[in-house]
């Protein structure tokens, strides 16, 4: 049976960054991924990197293409009642910048660099299962090319996302599950059109939120608020452009470019956290342990932050026989996870149209307006937004 120190389930941002950082520490690991390389390198997801995510990737020599092709951002635009309000977050938060770089590009870089440094990664690992995670010698089993495979590990990292198997391997009743479905959903659109803006736009509108995100010079990402049960079939391309143009419209006549829709889907919104993020020798990281509403684009950055804490903690345990950081892994991450959950939830309720069935809706709309007006009028409020949006240090 093959042996390693850390068996990593999932080759998303959490699993791949963890693998690289463990290797930097001289800790052996193997990554198992159920999908093919081509699939994971093309899967469109997030794309906004916090200052500290970029700093970590830079520091570890993983950011060459990101630096060459990513777009540096220093501010974001919020639109309300047809007015534009820029939040210069770099100026407000110590010169910290963000980078727009598509998640699938980052995943492709991390995979390429991992294989180039001789890292082990099994794609198309079917039916991965976890065994003995509450004992001294956990084991991963899977099928590959019709053959049964087994891997003896000292530790297992569950980096297989919300729908993965790792979290399910924890016995019932051990994890405290916090889950809240938000009464909003997004129609996500990827279009082959040059962006109509240099900075990300979040627009509050009476017909619902609209977002103009960026991906590259030729491809743009848009989001439109809808209801959780709304089928994508109800969003023909023509309606999408019409809604985007109306909801993003400004008094100064800003124009939206239109182009061919490459992809569109409806995603629901929820806050999800499991506590603790560890059981025995299994450690959960990224979406396997928590999901944040996509509003603040925090999911990817949280996954990378977990991977960093876990890599350092595993290295302390394996290389220096110091168990303390690993014992504190969950508490360390959850402090940041709840900070980000709170900010993402607050921002979601701030810029979305409130659902018709919400009790005291009119009063809550007034409160929402008051919050927005305060945000645009107060440098202190903007600075608080900036530090949370960019990624608050110390959490
Ligand atoms: N066996 C092996 N691999 C699995 C299994 C399984 N049973 N289930 C899922 N996986 C793989 C998925 O195919 C995916 O490549 O685990 C990986 C999990 O990656 P992500 O879902 O990207 O999760 P994570 O690394 O935590 O990154 C979170 O990614 O999805 C975005 O919005 C999310 O930005 C957030 C970030």
Rounded distance from Cα 101 to ligand 1 centre (Å):
18
Rounded distance from Cα 23 to ligand 1 centre (Å):
20
pLDDT in tens, the chain (395 residues): 899 999 999 999 999 999 999 999 999 999 999 999 999 999 888 899 999 999 999 999 999 999 999 999 999 999 999 999 999 999 999 999 999 999 999 999 999 999 999 999 999 999 999 999 999 999 999 999 999 999 999 999 999 999 999 999 999 999 999 999 999 999 999 999 999 999 999 999 999 999 999 988 999 999 999 999 999 999 999 999 999 999 999 999 999 999 999 999 999 999 999 999 999 999 999 999 999 999 999 999 999 999 999 999 999 999 999 999 999 999 999 999 999 999 999 999 999 999 999 999 999 999 999 999 999 999 999 999 999 999 998 88
- Which atom of ligand 1 approaches the CA of 35 most closely? 13
The owner of tokens 């020798």 is 281
Distances from the Cα of 354 to the Cα of 182, 204, 248, 269, 367, angstroms: 11, 10, 18, 14, 11
pLDDT of residue 395: 87
Residue among 303, 307, 337 whose CB has most ligand 1 atoms within 8 A, to mutate: 303
Q: At what angle do helices 361-377 and 329-351 cross, to 10 degrees?
A: 100
Q: Is 69 exposed, middle or buried (0-12, 13-18, 19+ CB in 10 A)?
A: middle
pLDDT of residue 225: 98
Q: At what angle do helices 299-320 and 329-351 cross, to 10 degrees?
A: 170
The whole-angstrom separation of Cα 133 and Cα 281 is 5
Rounded to two decimals, the pTM is: 0.96
Measuring from atom 30 of ligand 1, which residue has the nearest CA? 45
> In terms of Cα–Cα distance, which of 283, 263, 262 is closest to 274?
283
Is the CB of residue 47 below 6 angstroms from any atom belonging to ligand 1? no
Residue among 9, 12, 102, 125 whose CB has most ligand 1 atoms within 8 A, to mutate: 12
pLDDT of residue 252: 94
pLDDT of residue 316: 98
The whole-angstrom separation of Cα 7 and Cα 19 is 9
Rounded distance from Cα 64 to ligand 1 centre (Å):
23
């Amino acid at each position: 049976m093959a042996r390693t120190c850390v068996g990593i389930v999932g080759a998303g941002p959490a699993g791949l960054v963890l693998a690289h950082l463990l290797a930097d520490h001289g800790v052996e690991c193997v990554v198992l991924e159920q999908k093919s390389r081509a699939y994971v390198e093309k899967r469109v997801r997030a794309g906004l990197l916090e200052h500290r995510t970029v700093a970590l990737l830079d520091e570890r020599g993983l950011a060459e293409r990101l630096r060459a092709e990513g777009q540096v951002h220093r501010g974001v635009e919020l639109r309300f009642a047809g007015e534009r309000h820029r939040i210069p977050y770099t100026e407000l938060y110590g010169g910290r910048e963000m980078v727009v770089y598509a998640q699938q590009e980052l995943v492709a870089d991390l995979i390429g660099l991992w294989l180039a440094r001789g890292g082990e990664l099994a794609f198309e690992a079917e039916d991965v299962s976890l065994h003995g995670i509450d004992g001294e010698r956990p084991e991963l089993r899977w099928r590959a090319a019709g053959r049964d495979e087994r891997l003896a590990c000292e530790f297992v990292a569950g980096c297989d996302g919300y729908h993965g198997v790792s979290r399910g391997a924890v016995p019932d009743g051990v994890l405290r599950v916090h889950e809240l479905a938000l009464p909003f959903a997004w129609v996500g659109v990827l279009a082959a059109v040059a962006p109509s803006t240099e900075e990300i736009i979040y627009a509050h509108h009476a017909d619902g939120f609209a977002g103009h995100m960026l991906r590259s010079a030729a491809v743009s990402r848009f989001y439109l608020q809808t209801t959780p049960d709304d089928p994508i079939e109800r969003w023909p391309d023509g309606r999408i452009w019409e809604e985007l143009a109306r909801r993003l419209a400004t008094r100064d006549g800003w124009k939206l470019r239109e182009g061919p829709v490459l992809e569109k889907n409806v995603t629901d919104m929820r806050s999800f956290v499991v506590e603790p993020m560890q059981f025995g020798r299994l450690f959960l990281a990224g979406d396997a342990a928590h999901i944040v509403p996509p509003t603040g684009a925090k999911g990817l950055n949280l996954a990378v932050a977990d991977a960093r804490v876990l890599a350092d903690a595993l290295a302390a345990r394996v290389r220096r026989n110091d168990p303390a950081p690993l014992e504190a892994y969950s508490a360390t991450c959850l402090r940041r996870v709840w900070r980000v959950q709170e900010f993402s939830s607050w921002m979601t309720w701030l810029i979305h149209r409130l659902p018709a069935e919400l009790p005291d809706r009119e009063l809550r709309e007034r409160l929402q307006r008051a919050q927005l007006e305060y945000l645009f009028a107060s440098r202190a409020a903007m600075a608080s937004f900036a530090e949370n949006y960019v990624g608050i240090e110390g959490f």
